[in-house]
Chain A
Amino acid sequence: DAKTTQPPSMDCAEGRAANLPCNHSTISGNEYVYWYRQIHSQGPQYIIHGLKNNETNEMASLIITEDRKSSTLILPHATLRDTAVYYCIVRDSGYALNFGKGTSLLVTP
C-alpha cells in the first residue's frame, strides 16, 4: 500500500538546487520519513531521514512540514551524478522499507 505520493519525473539543471516533493498525508506520529536513491540499477543508497525536524547532511537537506503531511528533499547543487530514481518512504522502526515508484530525476548539463 502506497503511503507516499511523488511525481514520476523531474528535471533539474546542473548546479541548481533540486527540490523533490513527497506527500505522506496519512503518516502517523511514530513514522519516520526516509529518502533513498537508486542510480541506474545499482543498489539503493540511503540519503537522509527525519521525524519532525528538518535535517541536513553532506548529501542533502530534508524539510518536513509542521503537520508532517509532506516533505521535500533538497539537493543543493545537483550534478550529473545525481541523476537517479529518488524514493520517499514512510516507515515505523521495526518494519521493512517498502519502496514505491519514486521520482526519476534527470540532471541536465
Chain B
Amino acid sequence: DTAVSQTPKYLVTQMGNDKSIKCEQNLGHDTMYWYKQDSKKFLKIMFSYNNKELIINETVPNRFSPKSPDKAHLNLHINSLELGDSAVYFCASSPRGGVGGYTFGSGTRLTVV
C-alpha cells in the first residue's frame, strides 16, 4: 500500500487552464503539506493543513487553493495556469507537529505549455 499517493503523476496542460492534483495518505497522520520543487530543484513549502484546518500558507499566488475534505486528503487546485507554475509538486504528511518525520508522495510533474 502506498502511504502517500498523488494523482496524476504527470500533467501537461495549456496556459490559462484550471487543474487539480489529488493527494491521499493512509498513515493516519493529522498534518498534510504541499511542496513545490522548481527547475532549480529547490523544495519550498506552500501549504500545511492540520486535521482539515489550514495552518501554513506561504507566499503563494491565490490562484492556488488547497482543499482538505478530511484529514486523509489534501487536494491542490490551480486556476489560470501560467508557464512559471511548471514544477514538481509533492504532497507530504506527518504526525501532528511533524515529529518523527514527514512521508512524501512521489510527486506530480506539472508542465504548462
A residues with CB within 8 A of B: 34, 36, 38, 41-46, 49, 85, 87, 91, 93-99, 101
B interface, over-half SS: strand
Bound together, the chains give a CA A36 to CA B92 distance in angstroms of: 13
A41 in contact with B107 (CB, 8 Å): yes
Residues of B in contact (CB 8 Å), total: 24
B42 in contact with A99 (CB, 8 Å): yes
B45 in contact with A43 (CB, 8 Å): no
Interface string of B13-55 (1 = CB under 8 A from A): 0000000000000000000010100000111110010000000
Q: Determine whether B103 belongs to the interface, using a CB cutoff of 8 Å to chain A.
A: yes
Q: Determine whether B106 belongs to the interface, using a CB cutoff of 8 Å to chain A.
A: yes
User: Can you name 18 A-B residue pairings with CB atoms under 8 Å?
Assistant: A36-B102, A41-B107, A43-B90, A43-B104, A43-B106, A44-B92, A45-B104, A46-B102, A46-B103, A49-B100, A85-B41, A94-B97, A96-B48, A96-B56, A97-B45, A98-B44, A98-B45, A99-B35
